[in-house]
A and B are shown apart, each in its own frame.
Chain A
Amino acid sequence: MDLQFTAEEEDFRQEVRAFIKDHLPERIRRHLIEGRSASKDDIVEWTRILYKKGWSTPRWPVELGGTGWSAIKQYIFLEEGLAAPAPELLPFGVSMVGPVIYTFGNAAQKARYLPRIANLDEWWCQGFSEPGAGSDLAAVATRAVRQGDHYLVNGQKTWTTYAQHADWIFCLCRTDTGAKKQEGISFLLIDMKSPGIAVRPIQTIDGGHEINEVFFDEVKVPVGNLVGEENKGWDYAKFLLSNERVGIARVGTSKARLRRLRELAAIAGPDGRRAIDRPRFRDRLIETEIALKALEITQLRVLSDEAAGKFKGRPNPASSVLKIRGSELQQATSELLLDIVGPYALPAQQSTDGRNEPPVGPDWADAVAPLYFNLRKVSIYGGSNEIQRNIIAKAILGL
């Protein structure tokens, strides 16, 4: 048992850190450090820089452009990216549809889609949730009816992140209405430029536009865009959802935010007081730091168990903690920021970028309340925290 990183792992960390320092445009870093989200152009630019280095699809098999890094190195790479901070790789391609295509897709699909995902030549979005299928995802009702060499798709997806940017959407569609609800679903790849697709933006409570509704009206999808077998889509969806455990706790994001909180708390605010001198704030900051340290170790335990092949086919109790505590701690850091900025959370201001007038309050204040509002999503998406508790009760405790 050894909690220290090996010398090789430390060297690797330095290599990643140096690469990010030398290649990440300062404009992008500054934008992210102020708590703003990365733009499409930022994400594309950074992904292509990583692609040139061979680092844009680190977890893929080596022959498909993966890096062959150990689980611990994957973690270090992720953590350094979040700590910088650099834009995150768009998960819908690299972490979601990519692995589904290389695991269940045919040779033509692999050749057609994977290189474009790796260089972010094509932007993917995820067509899973529907108005009537949220936590109960297997209730999807979007229909795909086979007609000769194509499917005719009708229905609606919702909460579709970045559909406004997307070239492609991967969809769970119902292809058999007679079967058990899990057994009549197929996994289709759909070109967003297809006639009959309409995207309607959804503005969220932070004022931002990340998510959308996507409507399908008599959309023709070639049969060649079916992944794997018809009516086996639920299996691929479960594979996809279980594939992305490592990043879900976002320990690196919360760590970076806590470092920034430490810096901001040590500066006197407009009232001349430092947040760190307020005992109640200080205690909550320290408690959040402790909880995050515990979560970081929990995450490393999960990685180490996975690398050792433990818990094969059984759920690892430690992994169930990641989503619940990870989301709670992301939210906690945003609440601490809200408490540091204090009354200057109030003004609804344009971001620094497009502003002519001086800001009201500290120049980072405008992003704080929106971040707090925005992060309420993290305990809802990816299987709400209540669903996670159901999973722990059933799969781990056998209740």
Chain B
Amino acid sequence: MNFDLNDEQRLLTESVSRLMMDRYDFNQRKTYAMSEEGFSPAMWQAYGELGLLALPFSEDDGGIGGGPVEIMIIMEEIGRALALEPYLPHIVMSASLLRHAASPEQRARLLPGMMDGTRHIAPALGEMTGGYDLSHVRTTAREEGAGFRLDGAKTLVLHGGCAHTFLVSARLQGRPADQQGIGLFVVEADDKGVSHRPYRTQDGQSAAELMLADVHVAKDMMLACGSEAGPAIARMADEAIAAIAAEAVGAMDSLVKGTVDYLKVRKQFGQVIGNFQALQHRAADMVVELEQARSMALYATMMSRHEDAIARAAAISSAKVQINRSARLIAQACVQLHGGIGMTMEHPAGHYMKRLTMIEKTLGDSDFHMDRLASDTNG
């Protein structure tokens, strides 16, 4: 057992951290957020030059062969900088689906564009009536001739607006909530019958609603079906939760640091407010929550590729509940400790709060994961 990074991992931490330090201060971020894309395409290229876009793919696929610890490192830095680029949906999540569900030929077709940053691939799995349950699929896939016809709607497709390609779950057979009978399809944004409605999210990022009307998908663009698609989606979700947990830890770490710095300079009653014990104790409680969250993000990372699906799900759900709890307590405490300035758009504290709140509501909130834990462990 050890928690140390190896030399390559330390190097990765340093280079991502330096990139963010150089090009992601609060004002630059504002500029990126207000651009048409809602993030910085130049930064996306920079991610590519650092190898981050090729990182999760195996060397056989032309990638770098990074594992969950490397993803954790990158996501933590993304969280710290509140970076807006679609690394989570377009790399972490899509790469996971392609690793688990695609054939080598399908990967050979899709990966080069992903790795050089020219093709954005967004997973489109959730549906309006399914809540956080990704096996709830009403969108249908009808076999027809040399392919399939897809009909339905996908919701909250993260950074769907800029996607060239979607990885869509659709039902081949069974009822909407069945675990089996789901297929995973590659749908191009410019395919006939595909339309989408992009919008901004509360944290300055973006998402889209995706509509599929009699969309033709060739047979060789189905990634998985039968008993394979469901487990691939479940694996993806567990890996993505580990990644978003690391992002949350980065954001919380930065937010707590910023708040403690503020307590040391803001003066009231003729002294810095950090002298007041009521505020000190609130700050100490944030440290406790942050360290607990950090431990569970590590745990999620270690367990995210565990082969036993039940043990993996229990670990991942536990981690998400802890992250959600810590995120809410820390975000609220930090805005409170800043006082009025924390309420303003000019100050970073509120922006961290917004992202942390959206993280809480992404990939399962605490009620969802508590239910999952209860149904797994209800002895």
Contacts and interface: CB of A to CB of B under 8 A. Distances in A.
Contact of B373 (A2, A286, A308, A318): A286
Contact of A1 (B9, B283, B284, B321): B9
Contacts of B302: 1-4
A297 interface: yes
B234 interface: no
Contacts, number: 133
Contacts of B9: 1
Interface of A: 1-6, 9, 72, 262, 265-266, 276, 282-283, 286-287, 289-291, 293-298, 300-301, 304-305, 308, 317-318, 320-321, 324-325, 386, 388-390, 392-394, 396-399
A294 B288 CA distance: 11
A318 to B, nearest CB: 5
Contacts of B321: 287, 290
Given A301-B3, A398-B264, A399-B274, 11 more contacts: A5-B1, A6-B1, A72-B1, A289-B318, A294-B322, A298-B291, A321-B291, A389-B280, A396-B287, A399-B264, A399-B279
B260 A397 contact: yes
Contacts of A291: 292, 322
B2 A325 contact: no
A392 B281 CA distance: 8
B104 to A, nearest CB: 29
A260 to B, nearest CB: 13
Contact of B292 (A282, A298, A389): A298
Interface in B1-34: 1-6, 9
Contacts of B275: 399
B293 to A, nearest CB: 8
8 pairs of A and B residues whose beta carbons are closest in the complex: A393-B280, A297-B295, A389-B284, A3-B302, A392-B284, A399-B274, A294-B292, A298-B295
B299 A321 contact: no
Contacts of B150: none
Given A295-B292, A298-B291, A321-B287, A282 B2 contact: no
Interface residues of B, number: 41
Nearest to A301: B3
B378 interface: yes
B296 to A, nearest CB: 5
A321 B2 CA distance: 19
A29 to B, nearest CB: 23
Interface in B245-285: 260, 263-264, 274-275, 277, 279-281, 283-285
Which of A72, A318, A394 neighbours the largest number of chain B CB atoms within 10 Å of its CB? A318
B264 A3 contact: no
Contact of B288 (A9, A286, A325, A394): A325
B379 interface: yes
B264 A325 contact: no
Which of A266, A386, A388, A399 neighbours the largest number of chain B CB atoms within 10 Å of its CB? A399
A168 B298 CA distance: 45
Contacts of B292: 291, 294-295, 298, 321, 325
B377 interface: yes
B64 interface: no
Nearest to B287: A392
Contacts of B5: 1
A4 B3 CA distance: 10
A326 B264 CA distance: 29
A324 B288 contact: yes
A6 B378 CA distance: 31
A297 B378 contact: no
Contact of B374 (A9, A282, A297, A386): A282
A266 B370 CA distance: 18
12 contacts: A2-B1, A3-B303, A5-B1, A265-B379, A291-B322, A301-B294, A301-B295, A324-B288, A393-B274, A393-B280, A397-B284, A398-B264
Nearest to A4: B1
Contacts of A392: 283-284, 287-288
A293 B299 contact: yes
A298 B291 CA distance: 7
Which of A262, A296, A298 neighbours the largest number of chain B CB atoms within 10 Å of its CB? A298
A388 B287 CA distance: 12
Contacts of B283: 392-393, 397, 399
Contacts of B277: 390, 393
B378 A290 contact: no
B265 to A, nearest CB: 12
A319 to B, nearest CB: 9
Contact of B3 (A262, A293, A304): A304
A3 B275 CA distance: 39
A1 B260 contact: no
A248 B53 CA distance: 44
A299 to B, nearest CB: 9
Interface string B39-79: 00000000000000000000000000000010000000000
Contact of B69 (A1, A289, A290, A297): A1
Contacts of A317: 287, 291
Contacts of A305: 3
A305 to B, nearest CB: 8
Which of A9, A72, A321, A393 neighbours the largest number of chain B CB atoms within 10 Å of its CB? A393
B176 to A, nearest CB: 25
Contact of A286 (B260, B293, B370): B370
Contacts of A266: 379
A230 to B, nearest CB: 35
B299 A3 contact: yes
